[in-house]
Amino acid sequence: MTRVLIVDDDKSLLRALAINLRARHYDIDTATSGAAGLDAAGRRPPDLVILDLGLPDMNGVAVVNGLRGWHHAPIIILSARDAQADKVAALDAGADDYVTKPFGMDELLARVRAALRRTTPSESPARVETQAFTIDLAAKRATTAEGDIRLTPTEWNLLEVLIRNTDKLVSHKQLLHEVWGPNYESQTNYLRVYMAQLRRKLELDPTRPQHLITEPGIGYRFQR
């Protein structure tokens, strides 16, 4: 049974999450503080962590750092709308995704399933097919209904990072570091320009992208 650790000081939300996840046959541990969450993770290592940033005893980012020191289970952050800087810090510290409060239970459950799928051992995809385009990473070939599409080396590098993290939010900092290098981690304008180019070349409607998704102020996500 998949074990999920929920760390949140809102007891009513904690109870609702536990009920919904247990109903779907997850094994649930709960904690209402960062210290208790780290202790629970140490005693019974979870397969996934749902973590609130606004804890009474410590910032959720510190909990992420504590977990990432020894554990690699996916971490989904729960965050208030005005905590954008904390979201970025948590993602850079090693969190895998975030859900903004208030949220729908169906959305959270979908994020849980997606995060757990990514932990299943598998080879990185060499070929990805969507309704709009097909990407063959090994052959460096992009195809739409109009035929082969030429991508620049930088566009390929950016697209490859996103595809190898399918369904996972990738922060601005990570993308800039992997594609342009550590000296460019603050140049978010690069990402805006190149993501716009990729959408124009690949999406059916670049103004309403279905696969190259912006998470405002945080990063980008590739979804099939």
Q: pLDDT tens-digit profile of 9-39?
A: 999 999 999 999 999 999 999 999 999 999 9
Give the CA distances from residue 76 to residues 73, 108, 203, in Å, rounded to whole numbers and listed in that order: 10, 9, 28
- CB atoms closer than 10 angstroms to residue 52: 22
Judge whether residue 102 has pLDDT over 70: yes
- Which one is predicted more confidently, 83 or 89? 89
CATH of the structural domain 3-119, one choice from 3.50.50.60, 3.40.50.300, 3.40.50.2300, 3.40.50.1820: 3.40.50.2300
Radius of gyration of the chain (CA): 19
Q: Where are the alpha helices (DSSP H) in the chain?
A: 11-23, 34-43, 60-68, 84-93, 105-119, 153-163, 172-179, 188-202
**For 147-187, what is each residue's pLDDT tens digit?**
999 999 899 999 999 998 888 889 998 899 889 887 888 88
- Which one is predicted more confidently, 178 or 207? 207
What does the block give as tokens for 61? 């980012």
CATH of the structural domain 127-222, one choice from 1.10.40.60, 1.10.10.10, 3.10.28.10, 3.20.10.10: 1.10.10.10
**How far is it, in rounded angstroms, from Cα 171 to Cα 90?**
10
Model-wide pTM > 0.85:
no
Domain assignments of the chain as residue spans, ordered by start: 3-119, 127-222
**How far is it, in rounded angstroms, from Cα 15 to Cα 44?**
19
